[in-house]
Amino acid sequence: MDFQIALFLAQDGITGGAIYALLALALVLVFSVTRVIFIPQGEFVAFGALTMATLQAGQTPATVWLLLGASAVAAVIELWRQGRRGSLATTGWRDAAKLLLYPAAVVALTLALPLADLPNIVRVALTLAIVVPLAPLMYRLAFQPIAEAPVLVLLIVAVAVHVALVGMGLVFFGAEGTRTEAFSDASIAIGPLDISGQQIWVVAASAALILALWRFFSATLYGKALRATAVNRNGARLMGFSPVFAGKLTFLLAGLIGTLSGVLIAPITTIYYDTGFLIGLKGFVAAIIGGLGSFPLAAAGALLVGLLESFASFWASAYKEVIVFTLIIPVLLWRSLTSHHVEEE
């Protein structure tokens, strides 16, 4: 192995690491606010990438119908809830209609737009508009009713949601993978390295998103409120910050991060309906390195996972996954020896 190959591998590792970093951040965020280990995170990557690919093919992605269907279920639940409370006539119908307004608009927009000749940036926006709202809806349907359940129950529900979404992905997008068109075909040559425009996009967008999240959590009221919820849920509730709203906002952010990651990597690799799980799992390894609580450590861990994966695939490709996932064992050992964690429950 010479210096040039090492450079290539590092470049590949950093691109992968940037995506894992985003997913790790989302996992840490969701876990610290809602205590949910967000297994379906990877599905947003796959759904984002495949929705984008379907739009580029000029077809209506089936995810819009999922959005409409999930919203309809949420609306029915709202009606039933208000019906039991006796407020059906006053606010019930209005609240239910409000839930359906946004998905109906997205469906109308998707059907009305000439999908085949849209500029790429509009397609990205449309993909985000379709896929991201699925995340808060997921929180409403699957996690909000059991928000106070133990971590293990939440984990099991997360696994169930993941399995259901993977199954839907197969029905929506078929078994074969797709690639999307690159955002730009430009490439920069630095010495022996040939960096493609898309790789720059991935790293730059990841860095920008991480910075934006950091600003959001340190400088905005909502960000601070989310952090407060992460530190002490009951305390935040006493201060008038609704944990339901915190949950929805967190899921919205996680969905945004996942979908954006999917849209970003779709031009450099082939995405299948079930690709998301493995990508999400590697993000999870990174999040574990950060102890599921620290954003900078998780980002550093993600970079480590990306580089390790890239170099392992050069030296011992047959054991690549083994090497990446074995990383978790020394980290867990070290963490369990050094930290004295007190269970809140």
Q: Residue 11 or residue 250: which is nearer to another protein going by CB? A: 11
Looking at residue 91, what DSSP letter applies? Answer: I
Q: Residue 141 or residue 168: which is nearer to another protein going by CB? A: 168
Alpha-carbon dihedral of residues 302, 305, 309, 311, nearest 10 degrees? 100
Looking at 14, 16, 128, 262, which residue binds another protein (CB under 8 A)? Answer: 16
- 190 phi and psi angles, rounded to 5 deg: -115, 105
- HSE-CB at 328 with a 13 A cutoff on CA atoms is 13
Nearest distance, CB of residue 28 and another protein, angstroms: 21
Site string for another protein, 250-269 (x = CB under 8 A): ---------------x--xx
Q: Residue 136 or residue 177: which is nearer to another protein going by CB? A: 177
By CB under 8 A, residue 179 contacts another protein: yes
Site string for another protein, 132-171 (x = CB under 8 A): -----------------------------------x--x-
Closest CA to 42 of 273, 239, 267: 273
Looking at residue 191, what DSSP letter applies? Answer: T
Q: Which of residues 70-99 bind another protein (CB under 8 A)?
A: none
Distance CA 138, CA 154 (A): 13
Cβ(269)–Cβ(12) below 8 Å = no
Distance CA 325, CA 311 (A): 14
Q: Residue 20 or residue 139: which is nearer to another protein going by CB? A: 20
Closest CA to 124 of 173, 174, 181: 181
Handedness of CA 108, 110, 116, 120 (dihedral sign): positive
Q: Residue 38 or residue 173: which is nearer to another protein going by CB? A: 173
For 174: left if phi > 0, alpha if psi spans -120 to 50, otherwise beta; the answer is left
Looking at 9, 24, 135, 299, which residue binds another protein (CB under 8 A)? Answer: 9
Q: Radius of gyration of the chain from Cα atoms?
A: 21
Looking at 48, 92, 177, 267, which residue binds another protein (CB under 8 A)? Answer: 177
Q: Residue 89 or residue 175: which is nearer to another protein going by CB? A: 175
Site string for another protein, 296-325 (x = CB under 8 A): -------------xxxxxxx-xx-xx----
Rule CB under 8 A: which residues touch another protein? 5, 8-9, 12, 15-16, 167, 170, 174-179, 265, 268-270, 272, 274-275, 277-279, 309-315, 317-318, 320-321
